Amino acid sequence: MPIDPTGIADAFGLGRPLGEPRPLVNGDHPSDTHVLTTDRGRWVVKTSRPFDDWQRRQARRAHRLESAARAAGIPMPRPVEPPSPAIGYWHIPAGGEPVRVTEWVEGRDLRRSGAACPDSPAEAAAWVGAVLGRIALLDPDRGADHDGERPLHPVDDWHAWVAEAASGGHAVAGAARSLLPAVEEATALIRRARRDRPRTVLVHGDTSQANVVRTPTGYALVDWEGARAEAPWWETVNVAFRFAGPFNGPGAEGDPRVVRPVIEGYLGQGAPAGPADVSAFAGMLSAQLEVAAWCLWSALGHRRADAARRAFGLRVVTSAARELPRVLRSLDRWAALLR
């Protein structure tokens, strides 16, 4: 969505804008993020549609984790304190769109190299694992009960969405129908694993090649708005397998050069472990189903999806129909890499 660079710069005290904001590339995903250059530096400006109650709670949650991570010295961009009225790090102007600002981190994200790290995949993977372990130990919501906060969509809901796609003549209908058997299998696995799920804590929620930046002084973890409650062992396994895979979609790889350093870096911080069997992939599968569901809704035109988001949703659901069965067939073999 268009942004007002002068208004944002004035509100956040960023200085005088130098030229127009530049959209920040986000793979093939439509982006609401821009880079703004002023006479005081470069800034990442993120906008959002007006918040509903869930988004307000999410903004506060992300603020708690991001603040704790900054205090612990985890390398990350400095968020700019928003003017009032605000929720977390988001400024909520009267009658306007929510907006937040962070300092620009000079460097390149790890997607650009075509591998987890251009020189040594293990180097970046070990750093990521250690950071995940440090985040797991922060636990800013210690004592809170998060167990019911990530609902699993019933299979009947998926059947209803597929029927809606078919009856409405939507382009996503075929891919959604093909995805159903894998959704049913993944849902059953997740339900079994959740019977004895480890305790959940707040995790970063979107640790990927796109959000790890190699800077002149090391690595930094960016984009903390996706913070969520998860069993940290499940989150780490999720990251270890998707870190070497594609940016979007459910692709995951069992590359030991990436998986083992992530796991070892995490455990090396004294973070809590969990069973090294297929149940460890419940968090990864939950995340993949959550993304697929959101993208299916977008492809159907829900959530105020415009043409670009509908097209993106179609691409992700099509990818999920191809990749999720492969992921499920690989879990027994991949579990060996966790031991």
- The predicted model gives 130-154 an average pLDDT of 83
Predicted confidence (pLDDT) per residue in 76-103, tens digit: 999 999 999 999 999 999 888 999 999 9
Domains of the chain: 5-104 (3.30.200.20), 110-338 (3.90.1200)
Comparing C-alpha atoms, which of 262, 237, 204 is closest to residue 330?
Answer: 237
Mean pLDDT of 45-59: 92
Residue 289 clears pLDDT 50, i.e. is over it: yes
Token pair for 248: 């979007």
Q: What is the pLDDT of residues 211-251, one digit of tens each?
A: 999 999 999 999 999 999 999 999 999 999 988 665 555 67
Question: Which stretch of 50-59, 147-156, 320-329 has the lowest confidence by average pLDDT?
Answer: 147-156
pTM above 0.85, yes or no: yes
| Pairing mode of beta strands 86-87, 90-91 | antiparallel
> Is residue 111 exposed (0-12), middle (13-18) or buried (19+ Cβ within 10 Å)?
middle
**Residue type, position 42, single letter:** R
Query: CA-CA distance, 159 to 177, in Å (whole number)?
Result: 8
Pairing state of beta strands 99-103 and 41-47?
antiparallel
Cα–Cα distances in angstroms (integers) from residue 56 to residues 52, 92, 96, 209, 225, in the given order: 6, 10, 15, 27, 11
Enumerate the β-bridge partners of residue 141: none
| pLDDT at residue 49, as a whole number | 85
Q: Angle of helix 53-71 relative to helix 121-138, nearest 10 degrees?
A: 110
Q: What pLDDT sits at residue 114?
A: 45
Tokens in use for 195? 């019977």
Q: What does the pLDDT look like over 303-335, one tens digit per residue? A: 778 898 899 999 999 999 999 999 999 999 999
| pLDDT given at position 117 | 46
- Match 């130098």 to its residue by tokens: 18
Q: ω into residue 85 within 30 of 0, thus cis?
A: yes
